[in-house]
Structure 1
Amino acid sequence: MLDLHRLRLLREVHDRGTIHSAARALGYTPSAISQQLSVLEREAGTPLFERVGRNIRLTAAGEVLVRHASTLLAGVEAAEAELATVAAGRLAGVVRVAAFQSAFLSIVAPAIRALAATHPDIRVEAAEAEVEQAAPALRLQQLDVMVGDEYDGQPRAVHADLLREHLLREQIRVVLPLDHPEAGAERVQIARLGDVAWACCQPGTGHREMQVRVCRELGGFEPDLRYSSDDFLILFELVRRNGAAALLPDLVLAHGAPGVAVRLPAEGSVGRTVFMLTRRTRTPTVTAVADALRAAAATSL
């Protein structure tokens, strides 16, 4: 009999690439995972791995087992959700949601409030996370729903096992201090901002990549990325108090932008798409949460 916990470990190692990466994600030691996988090999009665340098690679049998593991684990998840619903007499259970900061404020928080009234037995556990962290967690069933973003010209990876749904589209606007010479213009020419300090999100984020790309393509210069924070309130303050410039989306600006000038770029339109990801098989509780997120997104701007 194959053990579901060991199958989950097998899938985690497969998706994360190494035993050490899986161990860090799960809070285990690498040796503990190796021991469990050795037991799984004995249960399977055939080699599941082969050594490649310091890493391991799944054999054909291991690939087959990973594919079936995903199906089995999804079935267990669906059964647990249905049992919770039957026991409560209405939709019940835990749904884990992740979203980037501005979507958390404008979409996830209102959706949780609405669900408390319509489905009080659904417990929503929500966390802030960027797509880079949330998408792998969703595929590994550590999350149930995620809200992500995709800037123009920076497509996200497409996963065949995940269902993507469009939520909204927003504009990216230039944010400047009120005393900047371009602050009074109806539209700001990015090309005239080459000598200012820029505030943006941390390295490795879509926002930072977007800001560099816009300055290069529309402005013709390499931006002076002097300030970095994933907290948009900090970015606002850097613009307002320190004379920085930033490119910020509508969801951020929807909460107000006192003391700064907000303008569209003159050289062209820059946008961002906000989307929702779930696994392709949605339980009734996940469907209810997805419906609430969709409704909240429709009124967020």
Structure 2
Amino acid sequence: MATQAHCAYAFECLVASFERRQPLGLAQVEELWEQYHASSAEGAEDDGEEDEEDEDMSEGDAEEQMTARPAAVARLLNKNSATSSSSSLPSTKSTASSTPSTGSGVSTPATSRSSLFSGGRSRDKREEHPLFITWNTVSEIGHKSLRGCIGTFEAQELEYGLRSYALTSAFEDTRFSPIAASELPTLSNHVTLLTNFSQPTKDPMDWILGKHGLRISFSHQGRRYGSTYLPDVAKEQGWTKEETIVSLMRKAGWNGSSSSWQRTWRDGRGEIVRYEGKQVGLHYPEWREWRDWVDKAGARSKTLN
């Protein structure tokens, strides 16, 4: 299941691309994210108990307490630091968008390679998941607007997949202009790891609203069409199951009337694959607060040439 640390890593990769530096590695982000929230919880407990403690603590003693934990974090960041090359972004045939639009395919031009810090928590087994990365802008009154959403149904090594699609969805979703650095304060990021894929079925209603994501395919006038929606899309849009299928068909490129979709589905040998995935999100201010904490702890990222 996706975590907020995965979202924090997506933000780390996006911001690092603007700052021309190497991002922290996924394992480092996960461990630092955990330590940050643990220290925040400890701080809240300490605040509740401070009235009961001796108030004669010297300024030097207070400063020592404040700097002890960041020093430990700095040692974590510097421990076993190394660089490793990443491969280029995924090929176009494994890439898809999963939000309402007039088209289903997204091209992915080659992107320059970057290096990442390794270190942090070691992993005996690399996780692999199909995944989608979604970027939204959020207005001051909380209105959310899609800014990019691209993913893949091919299982990806988690760090590689998160890094690649964080950048692909930010810069290569052809429905939108590339995200600019000036938009960062308004951004939110959502990660969905896909699981529990079903066998194809011809029944377009054989799924549960709000639980299943859908990947459809059908033929029309000698051409095969396909598109997908993540599990949360239909519920967010307030669609019925029929409205969702019609919207998916239109997203794939079909332009028939709503009253004829069932005949098109039947004659076009329509198939549907269900899948699941819980979307997890994070807003830029939350990431920025964490990253400032990391920076104060002494983290340093190399600048790219």
Tell me the TM-score range normalised by the shorter chain. under 0.3
Larger RCO (alpha carbons 8 Å, 6+ apart)? 2
TM norm structure 1 = 0.25
TM norm structure 2 = 0.25
Q: Which has the higher helix share?
A: 1
